[in-house]
Structure 1
Amino acid sequence: MGYAMVQRFSLRSCNDPLLFHEFFCVAAQNDGSSQISILYLGFMIGYLGYCKRVEAKSECERPAGTESLEVEGTEPSETEEYFPEAPSHLFWSDLKTMLSEKLSNTEFTSTIRQLNENSYFPREAGSQKDESLAFYIENRFRELQLSKAWHDEHFVKVQVKGSASNSVTIVGTNSGMVYLVESPEGYVAYSKAATVTGRLVHANFGTKKDFENLNSPVNGSLVIVRAGKITFAEKVANAESFNAIGVLIYMDQAKFPITNAEIPFFGHAHLGTGDPYTPGFPSFNHTQFPPSQSSGLPNIPVQTISRATAEKLFGNMEGDCPSAWETDSSCRLETSQNWNVKLTVNNVLKEIRIFNVFGVIKGFEEPDHYVVVGAQRDAWGPGAAKSSVGTALLLELARILSDMVLKGGFKPSRSIVFASWSAGDFGAVGATEWLEGYLSSLHLKAFTYINLDKAVLGTSNFKVSASPLLYSLIEKMMKDVKHPVTGQSLYRDSNWINKVEKFSLDNAAFPFLAYSGIPAVSFCFCEDTDYPYLGTTMDVYEKLIQKVPQLNKMARAAAEVAGQLIMKLTYDLELNLNYEMYNDKILSFVRDVSRFRADIKEMGLNLQWLYSARGDFFRATSRLTTDYRNAERTNRFIMRDINDRIMRVEYHFLSPYVSPRESPFRHIFWGTGSHTLSALLEHLKLRQENMSAFNETLFRNQLALTTWTIQGAANALSGDIWDIDNEF
């Protein structure tokens, strides 16, 4: 009878008073046996202790939802392990329902419209209106009773138009006749300030392949390129590598169907992110560093021109553009022998003060680990689609999640940091300066960045750029969230991972991933074609609502996507970062390199060490998965150790063999530079295509350092040094 009673007790709730009464009655009736009574009593005390440990998951202990976060909290010290009292958890289905209900009552369009009122636009970085909006957001975070709201201040160098106008002029080679084509309102920041004259050659989008396919050499010539496909900075870098002396960028009507042919537009030419005059260093309050500048700054002038100006130039050019370009019929290939083009750029450097604004909801178990969700605040021009939508999403998510914590019973295990960045239009300057300021510690604390910039540009497609660590989580979210127009799940294609787009240099999530080694995700509801008004004076609310009539519904869907990612990353005991996804990436790279086995053998090398490193990484991920499955979930020290190993996977793919100052984007998968896997493969191809351009010494270094970076990631994932496979 005693064993049956123990079974009944084990299967019942921890807090059933009737069961306690029954338990004692049975104990008392057991023939007065003191031994059995003591046995029952000992079992009950032990079981109650167990119940106390798992009460967070007990169905009987559903929270009443009256708890609230303190407005000001005390953070644990850097060296102190901090474990607050374990919170009660709502079920995941409860959280999703609560989020959905709160979103259904949110009018995003009113916030977007407010951000585009005269009070806050134009808000170019460092302007009074940019600053006013920064302090509005900080005050709003305080009103929402976030755990803390604050801002940081940076002094950065940006390039603006000078007092003398920029100009594009046509010059007769024989007659000496000169006439001004345009004195543009738009400009390209970080262009070289100079005057150049030469013939003009059309290079399509200005990709490397476009330049390689040109019939006319561009040595000593200016080039004209279409906007789109790649960033302005990449177009200029490609032109410079082919010895062009200047670049003109225009928006053709085929790709950007804008009626107004005179519309000016803006961009930047820095092949990097952050303040290019303090590369690798934070621009805190006039901090003194040796004079330096980013290697990503161009050495040739570059200027945006209107479509009308481009058509005037085409009138003095000859040769039809290839039909494969699918561009305007007016397009021409190069100027005739009678005409040259003269470009003058008079941009000047200016130091400005910018503010990044932050708010935090502190986690209840691991407050020193946090997900960061951010949006660009500034804009050249109105910036409705470029920055107002993202800022509106940021503010409303802060309001909703704070309300869920204060009134709904949501107790995130980890912290949620909301960030409003300035100087995004100049190359994610605000975000990068913050990362540079905390380079040594952020990878130990921030485990994911969610970017809200340009999240709604259309309705037809849902596109994602993300670290592989987030693929599994994104897929779960896509299956949960329905498209607001079609009513169908966002998960439409089992092959969606192969369609994930690489982060562009202009994406604020890029430096988080490639510079700091923090997993990042950026997404958008958009069309197959580019949104035509980004970076122009026509990026206004009226054009946005015209292009996206269901703007409010699409913004709600974007907020639901971000909200689910935030909650899932802060809700579960285990971090939702699938480290095993990098096994496929490493295997794919090894297969690509293996195609060149014969070339590698001719150099007296082999790939055995690379194979071993790949195998060690696979075994390390398998071991970590086993450790997690065998872990005692209620032991927070063990779970924290496992989570620490998971959250550093991305960081260990930053090459330790290159300088963050000289090669800031050190990630071997997603960075830029000779240390990347793509650079190694491109270099190896040269041995077959152009042997004279192949550098065997460089390749030997590339292969060795790549191998050891992968091996280092495997060792770090394995945990303690006595758990590492030392047979390598």
Structure 2
Amino acid sequence: MEKARSAVTNFFGRVPLTYTRFSLTPQVDGDASQVEMKLADDDECGESTLGDHVVKHREGHNQCKSLCFKILGVVLLFFIGFLIGYLSHRGRVASQLSSNNVIIQQEYTQEDEAGEIVGSDTPNMLYWSDLKPMLDKKVELLQFEESITNLCSSTREAGSENEVSSATMVYNEFQAMQLDKVWNDEHFVTLQDRGSSNKVELLKSQDTEETFTSMSYVAYSASKSVTASLVYCHYGRTEDFDALRAKNIDVSGKIVLVRSGNITFSEKVRNAEIAKAVGVLIYPDPSDFTFPTSGDQEIEAPFGHAHFGTGDPFTPGFPSFNHTQFPPSKSSGLPQIPVQSLSSKDGTTLIGKLDGPQGCPDGWKGCKLADPYKIKLEVNNIMANKKILNVFGVIKGFDEPDRYVVVGAQRDSWGKGAANAGVGTSVLLKLAQMIKQMVKEGGYRPRRSIVFASWSAGDFGAVGATEWLEGYLSTLHLKTIAYISLDAAVQGRGSLQVSGSPLMYSIIQKTLTEVSDPVSNNDDRLWTKVQSEDFLRPLSISDPAYPFLAYSGVPSVSFSFIKDKKPYAYLGTAQDTFDNLKKLVNVDSMCRAVANLAGQVILRMTHDHKLPLDFERYKNELRKVPIQLVGEWQSLKQLDLTVQWMNSAWGDFSRAVETVKNNFAGSDLEIRPVLRSLNDRVMKVEHSMLSPYVSPLDTPFRHILYGYGNHTVSALIKHIRLQKTNKELFDKDLFKNQLALLTWTVQGAANALAGEIWEINNEF
């Protein structure tokens, strides 16, 4: 640049330059200087520099030099003019794009199997206003009944021959669609089969009055036989056990009877173990569920699992790939007490043996088994090593193929699993086929890749998905933009339940305002079914999308249509057949709504320049932490602590959010490195909510807001409240450690969002 400036300056004659031959020291006139070293007697113009011809040389030299500078000046002027015109044109284009809210996609070409270029005649600009109608039109043509019927013609328990056959079918379907890449990964995992002698006996004075048996079971139950009195504990929630404790009813050494629903089987069992119960019985109460036909009907014993976690509990934190050796280990979430499920009829029979509502929490029909009755619970489930297959297909992005959206559904089911797995798998296949057609025939060029995943062993606690996450834990969060779960998406035809990360808030809300309600006659939008600003609920441990969020730090979402805010009665039972599902809903119309909803989210994520992740939402979520701590001001004051440092960390996060917003607003998003850098900062937000101070082996769900363990916000607040409720259990040093590490996790999230270390301006 200095040489160019000097050349221009000399060309216009602003500052004269002089040179000293054979010298490295410049002669300076004014503020400009040059260095010239002559090592030859003849210059480039061919003039002699010896004897009496010195003057001629200087004249010739000056003429040559002047000519060179003039040529250089013309070139510079041409370059400057070109640059001004180019920048002006880019400014007009950027302004036009901003005003019209469109996204330009570059024209790409690809070779067909014969090596010829195809796709070059497709438009190089695709507007969302063109893309959405294209999606709507294709969704309206989708038919699902035949697909679900074929998928659900038999049971598909994970690792069984039928389930392997269904994996092969999905693989072949992906291949037939000509997806860019189709593959599978296999895992060797430890599941649990039902024991042949599982039973529950109602004893009266040591004699068996009634025996309850079922073909269903609860996976990962301890194999034991216990005999004890029975205590009813409603849904088995923490507050239900607290209600019993408030009535001086002790469950220690007792078997507890709980209703299914509200929380997972594993959470019910975990709460029972904490209360020192020796066994758990779980039954479905008909009043909690939606039936295909009116009237209360019997619900068969549901299948479930009691592992308080996800993945293979005998390789916690490790992927169960073949030929990989692991030390003997098991998850701390495995129960040590026996668990069995009952039918609604058997559960009602036991409820009838309770001693009445006297002395029980309000609204309960009873809470203790009347004398002289007792329960004998015997479980002999068998551990089994099985090979499972996850099947994948990908449509590669044309701009950023190494960034991708993952959409998945479990394939296995303990029964025929129409609602449980058939709907999700069918929608997954139709979405892959439809979007591939849009790419091949409709000219859509996804900016980023789309991975379609068919998981195995979902019924046992998202085993297939978690093992895959464990295998790629160090890299997935850097590449995966979001995960969309299709599992159990149709359980009714009324309200819509949505669970997910706050980062998914805006895109889901926007999509719900654009997708028609499948049961409305007035072209209402799905957003009318939500009718709440807090429509996006936190993911629970039972949700298939949960490990993506709480274990891997990937923004995730799942949704399901239900009726009267109640789940489908036959979910997880042998009654979950396609015939029963057809009695509940119009399968085609409901599945089309699911495909449209998921499809729009996928296309938005892969179409837009700027990732549609609502990173501002975490500013509001994290603000609740110091507010909750302020509510415990007196307890903090006794410990000589304040919320100053947590407020400071939250403030830095808020400033980082504003910085990124301003960077997006002030940057030319057509410059790929700039766009990619900003999007990557947004992608770090979810993963930065995983505590770096706990081990993924011992505490896999490290998310500070939605995980489990002492590192979470809920654990911190619960601990400080012991100052008021049970001071003997309060550990001052533990609390200080919790507060410090939580504060630095929030501070780390702020630093990750802020960008490069020289851009960080922490205000401690």
Q: What's the TM-score, normalizing by structure 1?
A: 0.87
> Which residue is equivalent to 1:28?
none
CA distance in 2, matches of 1:198, 1:137: 48
Report percent identity of matched pairs: 46
Question: What's the CA shift for 1:40?
Answer: 12
SS at match of 2:612: coil
Contact kept in structure 2, 1:512 and 1:520, CA below 8 Å: yes
Contact kept in structure 1, 2:502 and 2:614, CA below 8 Å: yes
Is 1:658 aligned with 2:694?
yes
> Which residue is equivalent to 1:614?
650
Assess, with a 3 A threshold, how the Cα gap between structure 1 residues 279 and 56 changes in structure 2: closer, same or farther. farther
> Which residue is equivalent to 1:346?
380
> Which residue is equivalent to 1:126?
159
Question: What's the CA shift for 1:366?
Answer: 0.6
Assess, with a 3 A threshold, how the Cα gap between structure 1 residues 40 and 287 changes in structure 2: closer, same or farther. closer
> Which residue is equivalent to 2:278?
245
CA distance in 2, matches of 1:297, 1:605: 37
> Which residue is equivalent to 2:136?
100
Assess, with a 3 A threshold, how the Cα gap between structure 1 residues 533 and 50 changes in structure 2: closer, same or farther. same
Which of 646, 663, 674 matches 1:627? 663
Map 1:559-578; keep pairs closer than 5 Å: 559-578=595-614
SS at match of 1:516: coil
> Which residue is equivalent to 1:111?
147
Which of 374, 394, 398 matches 2:408? 374
CA distance in 1, matches of 2:650, 2:583: 51
Is 1:182 aligned with 2:219?
no
Contact kept in structure 2, 1:227 and 1:252, CA below 8 Å: yes
Cα displacement string for residues 68-116 of structure 1 (whole angstroms, at most 9, x for unaligned residues): 687899xxxxxxxxxxxx9934100111000000011111222222212
Which of 220, 227, 233 matches 1:197? 227
> Which residue is equivalent to 2:239?
209
Map 1:579-594; keep pairs closer than 5 Å: 579-594=615-630
Highest RCO, 1 vs 2 (Cα 8 Å, sep ≥ 6): 1
Assess, with a 3 A threshold, how the Cα gap between structure 1 residues 301 and 385 changes in structure 2: closer, same or farther. same
> Which residue is equivalent to 1:139?
172
CA distance in 1, matches of 2:385, 2:78: 78
Cα displacement string for residues 554-600 of structure 1 (whole angstroms, at most 9, x for unaligned residues): 11111111011000011111111111111101111211111112211
Which of 383, 407, 411 matches 2:441? 407
> Which residue is equivalent to 1:307?
344
CA distance in 1, matches of 2:489, 2:688: 29
Is 1:432 aligned with 2:466?
yes
Question: What's the CA shift for 1:334?
Answer: 2.0
CA distance in 1, matches of 2:184, 2:547: 20
CA distance in 2, matches of 1:61, 1:574: 10
Map 1:109-508; keep pairs closer than 5 Å: 109-117=145-153, 121-162=154-195, 164-173=196-205, 176-214=206-244, 215=247, 216-256=249-289, 261=298, 263-320=300-357, 332-486=366-520, 487-492=523-528, 496-508=532-544
Higher mean alpha-carbon deviation, 417-426 vs 502-511, is at: 502-511
Letter in 1 for 2:452: F
Is 1:545 aligned with 2:578?
no
Question: What's the CA shift for 1:239?
Answer: 0.8
Question: What's the CA shift for 1:696?
Answer: 1.0
CA distance in 2, matches of 1:101, 1:143: 22
Higher mean alpha-carbon deviation, 204-213 vs 307-316, is at: 307-316
Cα displacement string for residues 512-559 of structure 1 (whole angstroms, at most 9, x for unaligned residues): 0000000001111112122100010000011111111x2211111111
Assess, with a 3 A threshold, how the Cα gap between structure 1 residues 573 and 693 changes in structure 2: closer, same or farther. same
CA distance in 2, matches of 1:99, 1:262: 39
SS at match of 1:582: helix
Where does the alignment leave 5 or more consecutive residues of structure 1 unmatched?
A: 1-33, 74-85
Letter in 1 for 2:197: S
Assess, with a 3 A threshold, how the Cα gap between structure 1 residues 136 and 325 changes in structure 2: closer, same or farther. farther
CA distance in 1, matches of 2:359, 2:571: 27
Where does the alignment leave 5 or more consecutive residues of structure 2 unmatched?
A: 1-73, 116-121
Assess, with a 3 A threshold, how the Cα gap between structure 1 residues 231 and 61 changes in structure 2: closer, same or farther. closer
Compute the RMSD of aligned alpha carbons: 3.0
SS at match of 1:653: coil
CA distance in 2, matches of 1:628, 1:51: 16
Contact kept in structure 2, 1:67 and 1:407, CA below 8 Å: no
Map 1:30-109; keep pairs closer than 5 Å: 42=82, 46=86, 88-109=124-145
Q: What's the TM-score, normalizing by structure 2?
A: 0.83
> Which residue is equivalent to 1:4?
none
Is 1:677 aligned with 2:729?
no
> Which residue is equivalent to 2:750?
714
Cα displacement string for residues 627-660 of structure 1 (whole angstroms, at most 9, x for unaligned residues): 1111122210111111111111100110000000
Contact kept in structure 1, 2:284 and 2:299, CA below 8 Å: no
Contact kept in structure 2, 1:668 and 1:675, CA below 8 Å: yes
SS at match of 2:561: strand
Assess, with a 3 A threshold, how the Cα gap between structure 1 residues 111 and 301 changes in structure 2: closer, same or farther. same
The structure number with the bigger radius of gyration is 2
Question: What's the CA shift for 1:321?
Answer: 8.4
